[in-house]
Amino acid sequence: MLNCKETTQLASDRFERRLTLTERMNFLMHIMMCPFCRRFSRQIGWLHDLFHKASTLPDDQLAAIGQKLPLDRERLARALRDQDRQ
Amino acid sequence: MIQPDRSGQQHELDPQRWVEIHGDVLMGYAMLRVRDRDLAEDLVQETLVAAWNARDRFEGRGKERTWLVGILKRRIFDFYRRRWREQPATALSADADGDQMMDRMFDEKGMWKDEKPQVWADPRRALDGKEFMEYLELCLKKLPARLAEAFTLREMEEVDGNEICQALGISATNLWQMIHRARAGLRRCLEKNGFGSLGKE
Ligand SMILES: [Zn+2]
């Protein structure tokens, strides 16, 4: 029987690699009995989905974040113009 | 060089205009991944300069934006790769690998200690990606830096795990452990900050 620390490691590993059959069985057996690891496992799945959402933000939302940080456009444009002079 | 703009009109490729069209999007993209304004700005500048010098090679095939984001992605990973290589082990925090963090969660038998996972309402519909990142900001800062960085590259940038292992000089098993610790630490921190009840109607 796996302990909770090992079980949560496997819950996380599911996003990184394919678990072996034995690992899957041990994992399922543990979360059937342990509400805490069951919650953990479900919640990191939700977080994973939210990360995916955040990593694929549409351009207009990215621009909204960028606009809040005053980007020195003049300096940037100057840096580009300088390239052409070299 | 003549390029069509978003409305399909032709215009001269001009640095000022280029910065105006792409600057904010690239800045937002970088900021979500490095969470440091000055660093994000440097990376955006490097990206635009590199792209500007190579603009003849971009033949208008595909989207210009996608091309730029591809360059920025590479720059972000290169930045971390360099930082990890240069960072001497002594400069890392005392809990660089999160051992202590895990010891606060699990007892010596590997069972949950006092802060067991609570019931959450599904937060996915309550938050869009941007709001989630705002929530996360605080908790990412509390993680040991290397855990947060490796995790961000894997989860946000979807950088290949093998590449991260190489950059950090660690095995796959080590990386999986780091990523797991980052997840566990974030989960707990979010829970402490009321994340579990966000999904309630
Ligand atoms: Zn358990």
CATH number of domain containing B58: 1.10.1740.10
- Complete DSSP assignment for B142-169: HS-HHHHHHHHHHHTS---HHHHHHHHT
- Residues B39 and B197: their CA atoms lie apart, in Å, by 34
Q: How far is the CA of B126 from the centre of ligand 1 (A)?
A: 28
Q: Tokens representing B191?
A: 């829970």
- Residues of B within 8 A of A80 (CB-CB) are 15, 18-19, 48-49, 52
Q: Which domain holds residue B128?
A: 89-192
Of B40, B71, B86, the one marking the end of a domain is B86
Angle, in degrees to the nearest 10, between helices B64-86 and B161-168? 30
Residue whose entry in the numeric block shows the structure tokens 């909770």? A4
Q: Give the closest-approach CA distance of B178 to chain A in angstroms.
A: 10
Pull the structure tokens for residue B8: 């399909």
- Judge if ipTM > 0.85: yes
Q: Where are the alpha helices (DSSP H) in chain B?
A: 15-34, 37-53, 64-86, 99-105, 129-142, 145-155, 161-168, 172-192
Torsional sign, CA B23, B24, B30, B34: positive
C-beta separation of A46 from A53 below 8 A: no
pLDDT at B7: 47
At B135, the pLDDT band (50, 70, 90 cuts) reads confident
Instruction: Tell me if chain B has a CB within 8 Å of the CB of A13.
Output: yes
**Residue A27 in contact with residue A19, Cβ under 8 Å?**
yes
At B44-77, the pLDDT tens digits run 999 999 988 887 777 665 688 889 999 999 999 9
Is the residue at B198 inside a domain? no
CA distance linking residue B107 with residue A34, whole number of Å: 16
B200 inside domain: no
Give a yes or no: residue B11 inside a domain: yes
Distance from the alpha carbon of residue B116 to the mean position of ligand 1, in angstroms: 9
Q: Inter-chain contact B184–A80, Cβ cutoff 8 Å?
A: no
> In this structure, are B183 and B93 located in the same domain?
yes
Q: Which of B52, B86, B120 is the last residue of a domain?
A: B86
Q: Spell out which residues of chain B touch residue A78, defining contact as CB-CB under 8 Å.
A: 15
Asked if residue B166 and residue B99 are part of one domain, the reply reads yes
Q: Tell me, yes or no, whether B124 lies in a domain.
A: yes
Could you tell me if A41 lies within 8 Å of chain B, comparing CB atoms?
A: no
A9 CA to chain B: closest CA distance, Å?
6
Residue A82 has pLDDT above 60, yes or no: yes
- Domain extent at residue A57: 4-85
How many domains are contained in chain A? 1
Q: Using the predicted structure, report yes or no on whether residue A43 has a pLDDT greater than 60.
A: yes
Cβ <8 Å between A57 and B119: no
| 3-state SS assignment for residue B4 | strand
pLDDT at B10 over 50: no
Amino acid at B6: R
Give the environment of ion ligand 1: residues with CB less than 5 A: A 4, 34, 37
Residue A76 Cα to ligand 1 midpoint, Å, equals 53
pLDDT band of residue B83 (cuts 50, 70, 90) is confident
Give the pLDDT score at B137.
86
**Number of Cβ pairs closer than 8 Å across A and B?**
166
Token pair, residue B35, equals: 């969470």
Give pLDDT, residue B91: 58
Q: Indicate whether B15 belongs to any domain.
A: yes
At residue B39, the 3 state secondary structure works out as helix
At residue B97, the pLDDT reads 79
**Is B160 part of any domain?**
yes
User: What phi-psi label fits residue B62: left (phi over 0), alpha (psi between -120 and 50 degrees) or beta?
Assistant: left
Say yes or no: B95 and B183 in one domain. Answer: yes
pLDDT given at position B15: 83
Assigned domain for B197 exists:
no
Q: Which of A21-35, B97-111, B128-142, B162-176 has the highest average model confidence (pLDDT)?
A: A21-35
Q: Structure pTM?
A: 0.87
**CA–CA dist A6, B159 (Å, integer):** 25
pLDDT of A31 higher than 60: yes
Distance from CA of A66 to the nearest CA of B (A): 4
- Give the residue-averaged pLDDT of A45-74: 90
| DSSP category for residue B197 | G
B39 and B109 inside one domain: no
Query: Stretch A17-40: mean pLDDT, rounded?
Result: 97
**Final residue of a domain: which of B86, B112, B141?**
B86
Q: How many domains does chain B have?
A: 2
Residue type, B2: I
> Is the residue at B23 inside a domain?
yes
Closest CB to A16 among B53, B132, B161: B161
pLDDT of residue B64: 85
